[in-house]
């Protein structure tokens, strides 16, 4: 993990060479053993043409599928990023934005609960991995994964990399997850586009020819008036 003194030197190094520094703070709340998160935002005002800070709802609030994050950067950079984004993902969905507001304004209890769970798992996982012959793993200072060193398995007399990869068993429930994913991916039949009282849902139009559902008023999606609407919103946000 980078500390404040090192980070300042990196910022100055980049500024002196006219290089952007994109600093990803996605794991800012998942830091262990009393360490402190150093943020490049501290130098944004002094080096506005160098520092770009990015962050995401994905990890802190477990909102990976909601596809929402933010950046602190020079207005010209934000403007250029907006041009690219508007042609690739169009816009952050209104549902994700409402959920993000709720998460950011709410209490930190859930974040704290996740942090405690990660701390506990880390304390169990690292010694468990180190107990496996050939694995070596240090305590990660931040985030919620580990990168064990497994070079003892490779080279002469060891197994080849591809053999090792093929030997990794499939994740438990992988088949069920794939089936669920396929279900979410399928097109909705127009008959599914009904409110609970049987009326057509607001903001959703069915194309009877293709059986495809179109969200025509995404700003009203938060209404969740029908099961189909909710399904669409879920599909939309993933």
- Smallest separation, CB 227 to ligand PLP (Å): 27
Q: Which of residues 189-208 bind ligand PLP (CB under 6 A)?
A: none
Site mask for ligand PLP (CB under 6 A), range 39-78, x = bound = -----------------x-x-----x----x---------
Distances (CA, A) of 1 to 5, 34, 118, 204: 12, 12, 17, 47
- Smallest separation, CB 54 to ligand PLP (Å): 7
The reply to whether 26 sits near ligand PLP by the rule CB under 6 A is: yes
Closest CB to ligand PLP among residues 37, 205: 37
Binding-site size for ligand PLP (CB under 6 A) equals: 6
CB 178 within 8 A of CB 193: no
Beta bridge partners of 195: 226
CB 67 within 8 A of CB 237: yes
The reply to whether 97 sits near ligand PLP by the rule CB under 6 A is: no
Closest CB to ligand PLP among residues 50, 56: 56
- Smallest separation, CB 64 to ligand PLP (Å): 5
What are the φ and ψ backbone dihedral angles of 188, each rounded to 5 degrees? -80, 135
Pinpoint the alpha helices (H) of the chain.
4-16, 75-88, 94-105, 109-130, 161-166, 174-185, 227-237
Closest CB to ligand PLP among residues 26, 218: 26
Distances (CA, A) of 196 to 189, 212, 224, 229: 16, 20, 11, 11
The reply to whether 24 sits near ligand PLP by the rule CB under 6 A is: yes
The reply to whether 142 sits near ligand PLP by the rule CB under 6 A is: no
The reply to whether 237 sits near ligand PLP by the rule CB under 6 A is: no
d(CA 165, CA 56): 30
d(CA 1, CA 4): 10
Closest CB to ligand PLP among residues 24, 49: 24
Binding footprint of ligand PLP on the chain (CB under 6 A): 24, 26, 56, 58, 64, 69
């Amino acid at each position: 993990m980078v500390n404040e003194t090192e980070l300042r030197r990196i910022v100055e190094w980049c500024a002196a060479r006219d290089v952007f520094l994109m600093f990803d703070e996605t794991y800012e709340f998942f830091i262990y053993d009393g360490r402190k998160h150093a943020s490049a935002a501290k130098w944004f005002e002094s080096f506005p043409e160098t520092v770009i800070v990015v962050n995401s709802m994905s990890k802190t609030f477990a909102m990976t599928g909601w596809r929402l994050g933010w950046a602190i950067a020079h207005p010209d950079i934000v403007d250029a990023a907006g041009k690219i984004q508007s042609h690739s993902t169009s816009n952050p969905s209104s549902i994700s934005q409402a959920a993000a507001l709720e998460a950011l304004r709410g209490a930190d209890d859930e974040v704290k609960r996740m942090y405690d769970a990660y701390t506990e798992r880390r304390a169990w996982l690292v010694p468990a991995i180190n107990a496996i012959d050939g694995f070596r793993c240090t305590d990660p200072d931040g985030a919620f994964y580990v990168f064990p060193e497994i070079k003892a398995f490779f080279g002469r007399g060891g197994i080849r990399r591809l053999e090792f990869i093929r030997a990794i068993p499939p994740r438990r429930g992988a088949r069920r997850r794939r089936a669920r994913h396929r279900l979410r991916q399928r097109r909705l039949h127009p008959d599914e586009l009904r409110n609970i009282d049987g009326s057509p849902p607001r903001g959703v139009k069915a194309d009877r020819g293709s059986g495809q559902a179109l969200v025509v008023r995404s700003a009203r999606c938060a209404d969740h008036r029908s099961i189909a609407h909710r399904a669409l919103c879920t599909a939309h946000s993933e």
